[in-house]
Amino acid sequence: MPETRRDPINLPGISSRAWEHPADRGALVALRELRGFDVILRKLFSLFTEREIRLMFLGGAIRVNRHQYTHVHDEYLKVAAVLDVAEPPELYVSQSPYLNGVTIGLDKPIIAINSASVSQLDDEELRFLLGHELGHAQSGHALYRTMLMWVLRLTGGLSWLPVGVVGLRLILAALYEWQRKSELSADRAGVLAVQNPAAAIRVMAKFAGGGDLSGVDITEFLAQAKEFESGGDIRDSLLKLMLLEHRSHDFPVERAAELHRWTTEGEYQDILSGEYPRREDDENVSLTDEAKSAAKHYRDAFNRSEDPLTKTIRKLKDRVGTSRNDNSSN
């Protein structure tokens, strides 16, 4: 893994595009082109639901500030400074034995982390989690998830149309695929916030096995990801597709492997050296370019994958290509 830093450097003017996964970013840029619809949705949502959410946390959780959960507040301010967020969302700690956090709301998002996250994560791990949630807020994931779910409900009400059950299932699968990629985006924001990839990997290990890592070997944990991706046969590949179909998050070992790949292949280090997209340029982003970037990601992932089914498809594709070349030369 790259060399870690004790004192994360601030990233002034950084755009959320810097950490957004290509597949997530392409979808976000397309959604942002629907100018006006997001404004209407914000207004409708903020009238009632957003107020209800805030009241729920205000009445049932602890609001983090310089008087309550002071330590969490201090770490949160550090994360906000690194990601250059002048006015971070309200932060709450909610009672739960599970490691987790959530970012909800549209016009004024709220971040809540579970009490287990406070008690079971060290300082760097906590900053990763807070950076993850702040990444969600900065990318506008809550808004666009709500937009997509509204579209899904509308489509569900029109199930009598020719698109049918299979078509609706494909739409749902696509929404979950985007949501999983948005989680990978937030993971990248988290590792940028803490600037210690090892801490991010530890959080994934804790998501998988609990808060005590005294009996866990992180190298072996990463090896699980390789076995998950490449082990078994085509039956395992099909089972993985079924397991992931309705999951909002990839499995922790997959997220750990994805973070390890991202922090070791150059883009992460480029950002830390100051080479990253700025917010001031967000308006000039090309939808076509982002679509090409997303397509390139899936193409590269297909070519790199060691999944048994993908490898089989790749071999068949190569054979078909070779056969066509042989026929054209005759």
Q: Is there a contact between 56 and 217 (Cβ–Cβ < 8 Å)?
A: no
CB atoms inside a 10 Å sphere around CB 221: 20
Residue 155 tokens, joined: 């489509």
Q: Give me the pLDDT at residue 196, please.
A: 96
111, β-bridge pairs = 91, 103
Question: Collapsing DSSP states into helix, strand and coil, what is residue 98?
Answer: coil
Select the more confidently predicted residue: 29 or 314: 314
In the 8-state DSSP scheme, what is residue 14? B
Identify the burial level of 104 via C-beta atoms within 10 angstroms of its C-beta, where 0-12 means exposed, 13-18 middle and 19 or more buried: buried
- Confidence check: pLDDT of 3 > 50: no
Residue 294 is assigned to a structural domain of this protein: yes
pLDDT band of residue 320 (cuts 50, 70, 90) is low
Question: Collapsing DSSP states into helix, strand and coil, what is residue 110?
Answer: strand
Residue 89 tokens, joined: 């969302």
Edge-to-edge order in the sheet of strand 90-94: 62-63, 90-94, 110-114, 101-104
Identify the domain containing residue 155 by its residue range. Answer: 16-313
pLDDT band of residue 125 (cuts 50, 70, 90) is very high
- Picking from 297, 292, 282, the residue whose alpha carbon sits closest to that of residue 32 is 282
Mean pLDDT of 293-318: 70
Q: What's the count of helices (H) and strands (E) in the chain, helices before strands?
A: 15, 4
The pTM (predicted TM-score) of the whole model is 0.81
Select the more confidently predicted residue: 291 or 7: 7
Q: Give me the pLDDT at residue 148, please.
A: 59
Token look-up 């998501």 returns 207
- Confidence check: pLDDT of 312 > 90: no
Amino acid at 95: Q
| Number of alpha carbons in the 13 Å side-chain half-sphere of residue 240 | 19
d(CA 292, CA 305) in angstroms, rounded, equals 20
Residue 330 is assigned to a structural domain of this protein: no
Q: Is there a contact between 111 and 85 (Cβ–Cβ < 8 Å)?
A: no
Domain count, the chain: 1
d(CA 192, CA 127) in angstroms, rounded, equals 10
Residue 230 is assigned to a structural domain of this protein: yes
pLDDT band of residue 274 (cuts 50, 70, 90) is very high
Element (H, E) at 197: helix 197-209
Residue 328 is assigned to a structural domain of this protein: no
For 97-177, where are the E strands, in sequence order?
Answer: 101-104, 110-114
Residue 6 is assigned to a structural domain of this protein: no
Residue 5 is assigned to a structural domain of this protein: no
Q: Give me the pLDDT at residue 7, please.
A: 83
Amino acid at 205: A
Select the more confidently predicted residue: 260 or 47: 260
Select the more confidently predicted residue: 65 or 48: 65
Q: Give me the pLDDT at residue 99, please.
A: 94
Token look-up 């071999």 returns 315
Which residues have C-beta within 8 Å of that of residue 13, sequence separation ≥ 6? Answer: 84, 278, 279, 280
Highest mean pLDDT among 116-125, 234-243, 319-328: 116-125
pLDDT digits (tens, 9 = 90+) for 49-103: 667 778 889 999 999 999 999 999 999 999 999 999 999 999 999 999 999 999 8
Select the more confidently predicted residue: 263 or 30: 263
Residue 318 is assigned to a structural domain of this protein: no
Q: Give me the pLDDT at residue 166, please.
A: 56
Residue 179 is assigned to a structural domain of this protein: yes
Residue 102 tokens, joined: 């959530």
278, β-bridge pairs = 14
Q: Is there a contact between 187 and 134 (Cβ–Cβ < 8 Å)?
A: no
Average pLDDT, the chain: 81
Residue 184 tokens, joined: 């990978």
